[in-house]
């Protein structure tokens, strides 16, 4: 009796046909794929599982079917190796790791083309790697923008919130990247801090402007008061000067009046003496007598 063990199942006796053995192994392989096109391996497939299937294939008699299964065995191992290499690009949260570079993805994509793989699997992972390449490349570009904003802020430069908002949107779209995801979270927190600081700065500036306006108003009022005081002082000085001038004019006028009065009095006194002399002459009949300095009268005949 011939005993053959395939896939953990014992086939004994001649009643098991060759086609039955082939179909059994084919069915075992069919169970490891996600679909009939062999676009991917199920997550439950391990290296140990493929090793067992490889033994089952090798146990088959030589035939074209065995050669096809050996080819499938090779392809399935390449599929698992590729899938494991691809999984290493990601974190447990299915984010492309921060240290993954575009060059690293390009190398994996080139390696993929050189392996013996089902077309559906090759096309699927080529597309995935192309998308991942763009994600990592975008993450690098966005990271440069992020670092530029942080550098400007750290040296005391002005950061525009519109620029920050746009970068937040771009990072969110690229959150498949661990780097972009982390920087997105940091930038959201930074924006809150930035807005708070800008509000405080605006309030401080408004307060400073108000204080400056108040000071300017106070200085203007002080200048106006000083100007008014100077004007009042000048007006008082002018009034005093005018009063003094008026007083001086009045004094001069009074002095002139007094002088005029004295002159008038003197003139009046002179006229009185002449009249008295004439009267004496007439009293003595005009005989020709005149009064001498000693009071005696002398004859003028």
Render pLDDT for 25-48 as a digit per residue (tens, 0 to 9): 999 999 999 999 999 999 999 999
* Residues 168, 174: Cα–Cα separation, whole Å: 10
When pLDDT is averaged across residues 14-27 and rounded to a whole number, the result is 79
* Residues 106, 51: Cα–Cα separation, whole Å: 29
Per cent of the chain over pLDDT 90 is: 63
Render pLDDT for 216-245 as a digit per residue (tens, 0 to 9): 999 999 999 999 888 888 888 888 888 888
Confidence at residue 144, expressed as pLDDT on a 0 to 100 scale: 97
Looking at every residue in the chain, the average pLDDT score rounds to: 86
Rounded to the nearest 10 degrees, what angle do helices 102-114 and 64-87 cross at?
Answer: 180
Looking at the whole model, is its pTM more than 0.75? no
Confidence at residue 14, expressed as pLDDT on a 0 to 100 scale: 42
Least confident of 2-6, 105-109, 154-158: 2-6
Residue 70, in any domain of the structure = yes
pLDDT higher at 148 or 298: 148
Residue 259, in any domain of the structure = no
Range of the domain at 63: 1-88
pLDDT bin (cut points 50, 70, 90) of residue 251 is confident
Residue 45, in any domain of the structure = yes
pLDDT bin (cut points 50, 70, 90) of residue 16 is low
Confidence at residue 276, expressed as pLDDT on a 0 to 100 scale: 53
Residue 53, in any domain of the structure = yes
Confidence at residue 261, expressed as pLDDT on a 0 to 100 scale: 82
Residue 156, in any domain of the structure = no
- In DSSP notation, the chain reads --EEEETTEEEESTTS-HHHHHHHHHHHHHTTBSSTT---B-TT--HHHHHHHHHHHHTSPSSHHHHHHHHHHHHHHHHHHHHHHHHTTB-TTS-B-TT--HHHHHHHHHHHHHS---HHHHHHHHHHHHHHHHHHHHHHHHHHHHHHHHHHHHTT----HHHHHHHHHHHHHTTTBHHHHHHHHHHHHHHHHHHHHHHHHHHHHHHHHHHHHHHHHHHHHHHHHHHHHHHHHHHHHHHHHHHHHHHHHHHHHHHHHHHHHHHHHHHHHHHHHHHHHHHHHHHTTT-SEEE-TTS-EEE--
pLDDT of 185 strictly over 90: yes
User: How many domains is the chain built from?
Assistant: 1
pLDDT of 299 strictly over 70: no
pLDDT of 2 strictly over 50: no
* Residues 134, 130: Cα–Cα separation, whole Å: 6
């Amino acid at each position: 009796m011939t005993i053959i063990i395939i896939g953990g199942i014992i086939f004994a006796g001649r009643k098991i046909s060759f086609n039955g053995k082939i179909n059994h192994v084919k069915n075992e392989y069919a169970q490891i794929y996600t679909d009939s096109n062999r676009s991917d391996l199920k997550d439950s497939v391990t290296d140990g599982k493929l090793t067992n299937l490889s033994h089952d294939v090798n146990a088959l008699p030589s035939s074209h079917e065995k050669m096809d299964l050996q080819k499938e065995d090779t392809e399935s191992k390449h599929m698992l190796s590729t899938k494991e290499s691809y999984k290493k690009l990601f974190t447990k949260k299915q984010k492309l790791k921060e240290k993954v570079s575009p060059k690293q993805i390009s190398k994996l994509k080139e390696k993929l083309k050189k392996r013996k793989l089902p077309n559906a699997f090759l096309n699927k992972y080529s597309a995935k790697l192309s998308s991942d390449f763009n994600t990592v490349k975008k993450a690098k570009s966005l990271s440069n923008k992020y670092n530029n904003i942080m550098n400007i802020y750290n040296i005391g430069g002005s950061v525009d919130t519109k620029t920050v908002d746009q970068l937040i949107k771009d990072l969110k779209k690229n959150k498949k990247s661990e780097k972009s995801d982390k920087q997105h979270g940091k930038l959201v927190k930074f924006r809150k801090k930035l807005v708070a600081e800008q509000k405080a700065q605006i309030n401080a500036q408004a307060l400073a402007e108000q204080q400056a306006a108040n000071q300017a108003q106070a200085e203007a009022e002080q200048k106006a008061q000083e100007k008014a005081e100077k004007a009042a002082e000048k007006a008082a000085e002018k009034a005093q000067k005018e009063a003094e001038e008026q007083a001086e004019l009045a004094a001069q006028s009074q002095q002139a009046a007094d002088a005029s009065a004295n002159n008038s009095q003197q003139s009046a006194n002179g006229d009185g003496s002449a009249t008295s002399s004439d009267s004496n002459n007439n009293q003595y009949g005009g005989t020709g007598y005149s009064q001498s300095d000693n009071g005696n009268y002398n004859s003028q005949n």
